[in-house]
Amino acid sequence: MQTLSLSPLPYDYQALAPWMSETVLKLHHDKHHQAYVDGANKVQSQLAEARTSGAELDYKALAKEFSFHMNGHILHELLWSTLRAANDNNQPSGEMLLAINSSFGSYQRFVEEFNKTAISVEGSGWALVYVNPLDKSLMIGQVEKHNLNGLAGCTVIMALDVWEHAYYLDYQNLRAKFVEGYWNHVNWDKVEQLLNASK
Ligand SMILES: [Fe+2]
């Protein structure tokens, strides 16, 4: 596997404020996300070294470690790429709106279900929107940490991080306020691209 690297943000550090402050975005991207990249690379280099040295490794522990860091990296890449500066009346259209209406009945219902899923994550985790590979419908899911309770084989097209590192400095314990503000920043053009690519 190639060495992983952290992608630069597609906007500047102030772009998401006041929803996500410059301080939080900087820490979140440059420190927390970077740590997942480093963690995944570390596991891969241990595996690569053992292939030449013949050293015995704890493969179960390494697989667990890799799942955590690699999913952390992938979900953060998705998070940053599906956000943008706040827009008035920021709502989906086109194929994405059709998919939402057919899977959830309405945009309003979709937002309600997603918010409740995000707010109810126990401890650290994510709310995700998946494309079901079997019938191309949309599904909302939750993962704990970065990797527990996920749906295998489904394409994630939206991901909201509700770890405390994402919001605590800006909102303290008010996770629901952070989740509500997310909708002003969803980059629907990018989400629709991901939806179309998954078909
Ligand atoms: Fe995070």
Residue 144 covered by a domain: yes
Domain that holds residue 179: 19-199
Assigned domain for 76 exists: yes
Residue 135's pLDDT is 96
Look at residue 197 and tell me if it is in a domain: yes
What's the pLDDT at 169? 97
Residue 46 lies in a domain: yes
CATH number at residue 43: 3.55.40.20
Predicted pLDDT of residue 87: 87
Confidence of residue 109 (pLDDT cuts 50, 70, 90): very high
Residue 112 domain-assigned (yes or no): yes
User: What is the whole-number distance in angstroms between the Cα of residue 169 and the centre of ligand 1?
Assistant: 13
* Residue 82 alpha carbon to ligand 1 centre in Å: 14
Reported as half-sphere exposure (CB side, CA atoms, 13 A), residue 159 has a value of: 26
Across all residues in the chain, what is the average pLDDT? 97
How would residue 198 be classed by pLDDT, with cut points 50, 70 and 90? very high
149-173: pLDDT as tens digits: 999 999 999 999 999 999 999 999 9
Whether 8 maps to a domain, the answer reads no
The model's pTM? 0.97
| Distance in Å, CA 55 to ligand 1 centroid | 33
Q: How far apart are the first and last CA of the chain?
A: 26
Number of structural domains (the chain) is 1
Q: Is residue 3 part of a domain?
A: no
Angle at 124 between CA 76 and CA 155, to 5 degrees: 45
pLDDT tens digits for range 35-89: 999 999 999 999 999 999 999 999 999 999 999 999 999 999 999 999 999 988 9
- Cα–Cα–Cα angle for 138, 121, 26, nearest 5°? 90
With respect to residue 132, please indicate whether it lies within any of the assigned structural domains: yes
pLDDT level of residue 1 (50, 70, 90 thresholds): confident
Write out the two tokens for 78. 């998705």
